[in-house]
Amino acid sequence: MKPAGVQSSVLLFNKPFGVLCQFTDAEGRATLADYIDAPGFYAAGRLDRDSEGLLLLTNDGTLQQRISHPRFKLTKRYLVQVDGEIDDAALQSLRRGVQLKDGPAKATKVRRVDEPEHLWERDPPIRVRRNIPTSWLEISLREGRNRQVRRMTAAVNFPTLRLIRTHIGPHEVWPLASGECRFARNGSPT
| Catalytic-labelled residue, pool 48, 50, 87, 123 | 48
Residue 78's pLDDT is what?
A: 97
Virtual torsion, Cα 72, 162, 106, 173, nearest 10 deg: 30
Catalytic annotation on 48? yes
**Element (DSSP H or E) covering residue 62:** helix 61-68
pLDDT-derived band at 7, boundaries 50, 70, 90: low
Task: For residues 86 and 126, give the distance between their C-alpha atoms in angstroms, rounded to a whole number.
Answer: 18
Q: Which amino acid is at 37?
A: D
List C-alpha distances in Å: 1 to 11, 42, 62. Answer: 16, 11, 6
pLDDT-derived band at 186, boundaries 50, 70, 90: low
List C-alpha distances in Å: 44 to 54, 116, 122, 162, 168. Answer: 11, 26, 23, 22, 10
* pTM score: 0.90
pLDDT in tens, 8-55: 799 999 999 999 999 999 999 999 999 999 999 999 988 999 999 999
Phi/psi region, residue 49 (left: phi>0; alpha: psi -120 to 50; beta: rest), is alpha
Nearest to 47 by CA among 10, 12, 96, 94: 12
pLDDT-derived band at 61, boundaries 50, 70, 90: confident
